[in-house]
Amino acid sequence: MKVFLPGGAGLVGLNLIALLQQQHPDWQLLVVDKKREAVEAGRKLFPAVEFLCEDLTSTSGVSWPQRLAGCDACVMLQAEIGNTDPSQFERNNIRTTEVVLEQLKRQAIPRLVHISSSVVNSVATDLYTTTKRAQEQLVQRSWPGVVILRPTLMFGWFDRKHLGWLARFMQKLPVFPIPGSGRFIRQPLYVGDFCQVIQSCLEQPGLSGSYDITGLEQVSYISLMRQLRQAVHARPWIVHLPIPLFGWLLQLWALISRQPAFTRSQLTALTAGDEFDVIDWPGIFSVQPTTLADALRITYQDPHYSQVVIPF
């Protein structure tokens, strides 16, 4: 099988590559991603995989549309999660999807697995949420028989933005701030389990429909941070800050960093109080789920971990 992975140099893509290379070493994988540092890291980690550092919104002056010839499936991974430039959400979540869908049809690629997000069912109304909803609707209208997966917050190897970034923060600084009480419910999903779900989708050509892939363990944000602190052997002093003050500090940070790891809109989503439905995805996709404690240990205590994250 030849599989196209647009946006495949991120958290899910790199973990999926690691899994597929182990389980299906004869499969060909084509990754297209515009983040140069991520593509270079992917090339070093997976020399047998074809990585192209190209823009998915463009079909001229790039090679990726022609490289799709002969592909059997596409796992659509590209997404803008957090950015201080609002236009990037429309560009990277909507426009890229329109272009990729057009090229998939032109090359008559038969199978599509779209990675959506649990935020399509959220009460939040930020740019990430609204553009992910629009992206999913676009895919549903354009591709009968598509498989749509909606994961909750993910963590694991190659995590540069979520728990991975927070883990590095804990290891570097003596104080770790928590917004408000920190009792917001989280349903974290281990990316290794999610990649097994994707693999199952690729192995079952008759599968279709939408599936909410929710972390099976509910945990408060403050409890999750304490477990993370223990997993990385860090000892920062946890400090609770009023949510308005925390939000103001995030705004200040956004003035300094063009792509902050945590934005005010993400803070709003964190404190929105979402609790997502849980289906029997382990049974549907034949996956043995990893406990939260084991997943944190695998992620942050593996000797390879320091080699696969961007330094703080």
Q: pLDDT tens digit string along 131-145?
A: 999 999 999 999 999
Q: pLDDT tens for residues 176-203? A: 999 999 998 999 999 999 999 999 999 9
User: Which pTM was predicted?
Assistant: 0.91
Average pLDDT over residues 230-241: 94
Q: Can you give the length of the chain in residues?
A: 312
Least confident interval from 38-52, 65-79, 262-276: 262-276
* pLDDT on residue 243: 85
Check pLDDT > 80 for residue 23: yes
| 255 contacts 248 by C-beta, under 8 angstroms | no
C-alpha 228/C-alpha 231 separation (Å) is 5
Q: Specify the DSSP element, H or E, that contains 89.
A: helix 87-89
Task: Show Cβ contacts of residue 226 under 8 Å, excluding neighbours closer than 6 positions.
Answer: 238
Q: What is the pLDDT of residue 114?
A: 98
- Over residues 264-270, the mean pLDDT reads 66
The pLDDT of residue 259: 63
Distance CA 193, CA 215 (A): 10
Three-class DSSP category at 242: coil
State the average pLDDT over residues 79-97. Answer: 85
| Token pair listed for 158 | 């190659």
pLDDT given at position 312: 36
